[in-house]
Structure 1
Amino acid sequence: MSSLRLGVSLQPRWPLDDGRAVLRTALRAEELGFDHVAVGNRLLDSGFGLDTDPLVLLSAVAGATSRLRLLTSVLVAPYYPALVLANQAATLDVLSGGRLILGVGAGWNPEEFDAVGIPARERGARTDDHLAAARALWSRRPTDFDGPFTTLRAARLGVPPVTPGGPPVWVGGSSDAALRRALRFGDGWYGAGADAAEVTGVRRRLRALATGPQDADRLVLASAQFLTPPGFTAAVAPPGRPLGGAAPTAASVVDDLGSLAEAGLTVCTLWLPVAAGHLGEAMEWIAAEVAPQLS
């Protein structure tokens, strides 16, 4: 669409009696020229929309589309044993022809951590362990790995990824620990609702934490942004500042996106908190009124 690549989140609460509605919407996003679709990771009902396994849903989207990139936004790495995570991600990387972007985070929801029997206090250490093991499995056959939660001896991943070294990994979070994780394991940083000042701050902090400026500057900077286009009603309250302000227009949305791009953002996922039946129309408004002005 432009130098700032736009995607859309597939998070509305889709009707359970028409499971293919989400696939038709993903195909429409591809037809409209969006860069990617994104799916979050919740195990329990969040009240915000579609609460599915992102790798399962994006596998279906991969079969329904041909160009659209597929973003987990974000997958909670501690929920998945390292070998399972590496194998599932590599499988989707192969099935999609290299279109997967593995957005990952350490998670936060104590109820879900309790439900899966993982101590929440271990979430950061488990995320680092799982990412390191996955990177090793994607890069070396056979693989030996020793971590605090994963041990591998001469392991051969069931399916090697088609993307050399595995799918790109974008690390979510704004803490110093998350930024260090992005520098160590990631190909990009992924924020939520970040404004231009926050993106600038993340760039500065990444450089300060990195061994050298080039180590920080290699990372893609991406963020999810919340937008209810004019004429649409929000089905749920957005959990952050709306793109374009409380009463957005095409001009105000373009202005905000331009500021984000100037700050260094190169990929933006639009989270549209509208009813599922209106998501297609909302995407069409963006494609017609916003995207042409970005170029």
Structure 2
Amino acid sequence: MPQLRLGVSLQPRWPVDDGRAVLRAAVHAEELGFDHVAVGNRLLDSGFGLDTDPFVLLSAVAGATTRLRLLTSVLVAPHYPALLLANQASTLDVVSGGRLVLGVGTGWNPDEFAAAGVPVRERGSRTDDHLAAAQALWTHRPADFEGRHTTLRGARLGVPPVTPGGPPVWVGGHSDVALRRALRFGAGWYGSGVDAATVTGVRRRLGELAEGAQDAGRLTLASMVFLVPPGVPALIQPPGRPAGGSSPSAASIVDDLGRLAEAGLSAVTLWLPVAAEHVEKATEWIAAEVAPQLA
């Protein structure tokens, strides 16, 4: 079985009166050997867990850990002006010692776009514009850029990234537009709730869409996967089939994750729809019963 790196999402609804609980969970994940932790991006209450700015929370996680990779899963790129996106990502790349992986998407929630003053119909063009401008700022000092939404003239980013070329970008989405975006801007593709057949189809389609010097084989394939360990109550219904099915066991979870690895995934973020007080038990079970079989 190809090696599959496991990460864990920091999405449970953590108690507001104990803000360090999420940091303790991240430190515990590092101690248990997980590859990364992930934080989503919501401006308004989603009902699914922690709804914070991922740059802010992952900066705190960076200070509390030493090895874990830090994944935005996913950052809604159109909500961040290009210069702000480039500078905040570069800052986190520097303070974490190059541990940031910038998972990005176009977003979907019209209420958030309206509240942010960003036309939802422009989310695709703004994502492309902001990524292109950010990469210009990460790779050139000074940077010139002329895009549909961003213009730069001799711009020197305040904090150049420590990672050459800037933090790796994983582009989310299953459409041809998203896959072309991954080929153009990404070091990886990032899915959500996928099965092995979907991963196989994405690999095939990336190869078909690649043009010229683009090489689909260079992309890391990763995905978020729902998981509710046996014996741990789910706080909410997962918005997709969980790993291992409706009555999961270590064997059924390993089988599902193994199929994803065989199909081409190299990293999985486990999204645990459980209460904050059960996260420690859930991650310890995964580290003991699942991770050794995937090594």
Size of the aligned set, in residue pairs, is: 294
Task: Give RMSD over aligned pairs.
Answer: 0.9
Mapping 1:123-272, distance limit 5 Å: 123-211=123-211, 215-272=215-272
Q: CA deviation at 1:33?
A: 0.1
1:187-245 CA-to-partner distances (Å, cap 9, x unmatched) read 00000001000000000000000016971010000000000000011001111111010
| Cα pair 1:207 1:213 within 8 Å, conserved | no
**Structure 1 residue runs without a partner (length 5+):** none
How far apart are the structure 2 equivalents of 1:115 and 1:294?
43
Please tell me whether residue 20 in structure 1 is matched to residue 32 in structure 2: no
| Cα pair 2:184 2:214 within 8 Å, conserved | no
Q: CA deviation at 1:293?
A: 1.0
| Cα pair 2:183 2:214 within 8 Å, conserved | no
The one-letter amino acid paired with 2:56 is V
How far apart are the structure 1 equivalents of 2:221 and 2:184?
15
| Cα pair 1:179 1:189 within 8 Å, conserved | yes
The one-letter amino acid paired with 1:199 is V
TM-score, normalised with respect to structure 1? 0.99
Please tell me whether residue 118 in structure 1 is matched to residue 118 in structure 2: yes
How far apart are the structure 1 equivalents of 2:145 and 2:275?
46
The one-letter amino acid paired with 1:109 is N
How far apart are the structure 1 equivalents of 2:188 and 2:137?
20
TM-score, normalised with respect to structure 2? 0.99
How far apart are the structure 2 equivalents of 1:111 and 1:224?
24
How far apart are the structure 2 equivalents of 1:250 and 1:151?
52
The one-letter amino acid paired with 2:283 is M
3-state SS of the aligned residue for 2:290? helix
3-state SS of the aligned residue for 2:215? helix
Mapping 1:64-143, distance limit 5 Å: 64-143=64-143
How far apart are the structure 2 equivalents of 1:244 and 1:133?
41
1:45-65 CA-to-partner distances (Å, cap 9, x unmatched) read 000000000010000000000
How far apart are the structure 2 equivalents of 1:150 and 1:10?
32
**Structure 2 residue runs without a partner (length 5+):** none
How far apart are the structure 2 equivalents of 1:239 and 1:231?
20
How far apart are the structure 2 equivalents of 1:69 and 1:116?
29
Q: CA deviation at 1:81?
A: 0.2
| Cα pair 1:6 1:34 within 8 Å, conserved | yes
| Poorly superposed stretches of 4+, deviation over 6 Å | none
How far apart are the structure 2 equivalents of 1:142 and 1:73?
30
| Cα pair 1:103 1:169 within 8 Å, conserved | yes
CA change 1:212–1:3 in 2 (3 A) is farther
- How many percent of aligned residue pairs carry the same amino acid? 79
| Structure 1 partner of 2:49 | 49
The one-letter amino acid paired with 1:91 is T
The one-letter amino acid paired with 2:70 is L
